[in-house]
Amino acid sequence: MVVTQKAKRYAAKVVGQLRRQYPDAGCSLDFGSPLELLVATILSAQCTDERVNLVTKDLFRKYRSAADYARTPQAELERDIRSTGFFRNKAKNIRGCCQALVEQYEGRVPRELDALVALPGIGRKTANVVLGTAHGIASGVVVDTHVGRISRRLGLSRQKNPEKIERDLIEQLPRKDWVAFSHRMIQHGRHYCTARRPKCDDCPLNRFCPRVGVCEAASGTDH
């Protein structure tokens, strides 16, 4: 994607409007440490943040360190996280990741993107969440389903692959906005730019949003 100054000005307009609409947007996952955020983010795949927070309320009391997860039998951890869905694979990723943390980093979560994505079961999205939210390090732009969908509708990217969408956003947005931008886009996706029936007429971005891929029936408009 070739980024022009016009594209950057448009992206700045989007960023500014989102900042005004969601000034206090932040991570909706409950956590008290980088490790807890790492685990919660793994659990959040194909699961609501509300459900994850219900599960981690007890989980984080039981498992206090990476070593606790690493030495827990697979079947036991599966039972503890079962209601988040895909629990076998999630338990495998959590245990594998935490075993690597114990062996390579004395149980601490590294603060480098390359080190995080090298851990078992950890991709760029999870690494960006942990670095940006737990450490305030803008390593990239978190692209979940909300961010991907809204980026395409706004014309910020034509891509469908999350990493390609992230590259487009990184080229258009100032680094200082990367972390907050994702939080605000997620809030916007929940309140207005929903997947099936976006509330385009009420949307605070409707003055300039091109509504790429949004048909009138889906947006609930009559004109």
Rounded to the nearest 5 degrees, what angle is found at the Cα of 43, between the Cα atoms of 148 and 23?
A: 50
- Buried/exposed 145-156: b ≥16 CB within 10 Å, e otherwise: ebbbbbbbbbbb
Q: Which of the following is catalytic: 30, 49, 68, 144?
A: 144
Question: DSSP letter string over 21-65?
Answer: H-TT----S--SSHHHHHHHHHHTTTS-HHHHHHHHHHHHHH--S
Residue type, 86: F
CA pair distance 124, 212, nearest whole angstrom: 26
Contact 94, 121 (CB under 8 A): yes
Listed residue (202, 179, 180, 207) closest to 191, CA to CA? 202
Q: Which of the following is catalytic: 90, 125, 168, 177?
A: 125
- Catalytic, 144? Answer yes
| Structure token pair of residue 138 | 């803008």
| Structure token pair of residue 170 | 């990184």
CA pair distance 168, 139, nearest whole angstrom: 14
- Catalytic, 49? Answer no
Active site residues: 125, 144
